[in-house]
């Protein structure tokens, strides 16, 4: 939810970035998606993916997923469209963003921010 909204073209490697770009285009064209627990379509091409989790720290990723569900109020299995997602993300406070994205390298490198979240979720 957060990562597709704040994506700026940087990724772990080319297949990951290409897949992310295609997923975002699908969403922008009105494609619907379902929230899942564990590996999702974004993880599919991630070079850090492992059969049982993530080489960068499964618990860290799982915690972030849990935090994203908590602040949005969405539950796994929920089907969403991009408009609904952006509407919900646009209602979040800065502390919600910090809760979900804290310690993520992309936020620490300045690629993701609450200001960008506000910008991308403008009606």
Which positions touch ligand SF4 (CB under 6 A)? 2-3, 6, 64, 101, 104, 106-107, 112
Closer residue to ligand SF4 (CB): 78 or 113 = 113
CB neighbourhood size of 96 (10 A): 19
Closer residue to ligand SF4 (CB): 64 or 82 = 64
Between CA 23 and CA 27, with CA 24 as vertex, the angle to 5 degrees is 90
Tell me how far the alpha carbon of residue 35 is from its chain's centroid.
Answer: 11
Closer residue to ligand SF4 (CB): 23 or 112 = 112
Q: CB of residue 103 vs ligand SF4: minimum separation in angstroms?
A: 9
Measured CA to CA, the distance from residue 9 to residue 63 in angstroms comes to 24
């Amino acid at each position: 939810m957060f990562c597709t909204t704040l994506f700026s073209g940087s990724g772990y490697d080319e297949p990951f970035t290409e897949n992310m770009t295609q997923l975002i285009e699908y969403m922008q064209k009105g494609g619907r998606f379902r929230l899942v627990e564990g590996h999702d379509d974004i993880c599919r091409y991630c070079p850090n993916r492992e059969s049982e989790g993530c080489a960068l720290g499964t618990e860290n990723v799982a915690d972030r997923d849990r935090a994203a569900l908590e602040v949005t109020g969405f539950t796994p299995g929920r089907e969403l469209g991009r408009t609904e997602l952006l509407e919900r993300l646009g209602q979040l406070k800065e502390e919600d963003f910090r809760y979900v994205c804290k310690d993520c390298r992309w936020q620490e490198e300045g690629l993701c921010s609450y200001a960008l979240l506000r910008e991308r979720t403008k009606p």
